[in-house]
Amino acid sequence: MTWEVTLQESVVKDLRWFGRKVGRLLLVEAEALLCADPLAETRNLKTLRPNAVAQRELRLQGKYRVLFNVDEEAQTVTILLVGEKQGNKLIVQGEEFTAHHESDPTE
């Protein structure tokens, strides 16, 4: 069973920020893993706590993060964001990304 992977328009800008070579590597690696089984629970593929941004996270090369949603009925995966993890911060296009904390139910 193969899943269809689509990108939100902003993801292209996220990938370009990393440069041509790294951006392409991240996209190819993410598509390969997400086409196979985006619902797997592994060390690098996890379900996130409920938030307004994404359902799931994929870790690539230790420091990169791909946030995405899965539509099981249509068998599609939509990549919403690609960033770099620096400590406990997620950096997207050179700036700290905080939107996923705004709907944190623990606050």
Q: Cα–Cα distance between 99 and 93 in angstroms, integer?
A: 14
Share of the chain above pLDDT 90, in %: 86
Cβ atoms 81, 13 nearer than 8 A: no
Amino acid at 28: V
User: Bridge partners of 85?
Assistant: 90
For the chain, how many structural domains are there in total?
1
pLDDT in tens, 46-80: 999 988 899 999 999 999 999 999 999 999 999 99
Give domain status of residue 55, yes or no: yes
Q: Quick check: helix, strand or coil at residue 45?
A: strand
Residue 44's domain is classified under what CATH number?
Answer: 3.30.2310.20
Q: State mean pLDDT over 38-51.
A: 93
What range defines the domain where residue 15 resides? 4-96
Q: What is the pLDDT of residue 91?
A: 94
Chain mean pLDDT for the chain: 91
Share of the chain above pLDDT 70, in %: 92
Cβ atoms 68, 58 nearer than 8 A: yes
Give domain status of residue 107, yes or no: no
Q: What is the pLDDT of residue 102?
A: 52
Give domain status of residue 101, yes or no: no
Instruction: Give the list of residues 6+ apart from residue 19 with CB closer than 8 angstroms, or none.
Output: none
Residue 98: how many CB atoms within 10 A of its CB? 10
Q: State mean pLDDT over 25-29.
A: 96
- pLDDT of residue 86 exceeding 50, the answer is yes
Give domain status of residue 47, yes or no: yes
